[in-house]
Amino acid sequence: MSEPFDLFRISEEQEMLRDSVRSLAESKIAPFAAEVDEQGRFPQEARDALEAADLHAVHVPEQYDGAGADALSTVIVIEEVARVCASSSLIPAVNKLGSLPVQLSGSEELKSRYLGALARREGMFSYCLSEPEAGSDAAGMKTRAVRDGDHWVLDGVKRWITNAGVSEFYTVMAVTDPDKRSKGISAFVVEKDDPGVSFGAPERKLGIKGSPTREVYFDQVRIPADRMIGEEGTGFATAMRTLDHTRVTIAAQALGIAQGALDYAKGYVAERKQFGKAIAEFQGIQFMLADMAMKLEAARQLTYAAAAKSERGDKDLTFFGAAAKCYASDAAMEITTDAVQLLGGYGYTRDYPVERMMRDAKITQIYEGTNQVQRIVMARNLP
- Provide the number of structural domains found in the chain: 3
Residue ranges of the chain with per-residue pLDDT less than 50: 1-6
End-to-end CA distance of the chain: give it in Å, rounded: 7
Residue 335's pLDDT is what? 99
Strand partners, 174: 186
Residue 8's pLDDT is what? 60
- Neighbour count for residue 104 (Cβ, 10 Å): 18
Residue 325 falls inside a structural domain: yes
- Catalytic: 51? no
Residue 9's pLDDT is what? 75
Domain end: 234, 258, 274, which one?
A: 234
Residue 1 falls inside a structural domain: no
Same domain for 371 and 263, yes or no, is: yes
Same domain for 190 and 305, yes or no, is: no
Tens of pLDDT, residue by residue over 61-97, are: 999 999 999 999 999 999 999 999 999 999 999 999 9
Same domain for 224 and 246, yes or no, is: no
Rounded CA separation 52/92 (Å): 13
Residue 7 falls inside a structural domain: no
Same domain for 140 and 210, yes or no, is: yes
Same domain for 70 and 28, yes or no, is: yes
Tell me the three state secondary structure of residue 177: coil
Q: What would the DSSP string read from start to end of 68-82?
A: ---HHHHHHHHHHHH
Cα 108–chain centre separation: 25
Cα distances from 64 to residues 102, 107, 233, 350, in angstroms, run: 12, 13, 26, 42
Domain that holds residue 295: 236-380
Residue 240's pLDDT is what? 97
Residue 6 falls inside a structural domain: no
Rounded CA separation 115/109 (Å): 10
Same domain for 336 and 315, yes or no, is: yes
Residue 203 falls inside a structural domain: yes
Residue 210 falls inside a structural domain: yes
**pTM of this prediction?**
0.96
Helix H or strand E segment including 159: strand 151-162
- Neighbour count for residue 246 (Cβ, 10 Å): 26
Residue 1's pLDDT is what? 38
Same domain for 276 and 211, yes or no, is: no
Tell me the three state secondary structure of residue 146: strand
Tell me the three state secondary structure of residue 170: strand
Same domain for 95 and 137, yes or no, is: no
CATH code, domain carrying 69: 1.10.540.10
Same domain for 137 and 205, yes or no, is: yes
The one catalytic residue in 79, 131, 355, 368 is: 368
Residue 2 falls inside a structural domain: no
CATH code, domain carrying 285: 1.20.140.10
Same domain for 302 and 315, yes or no, is: yes
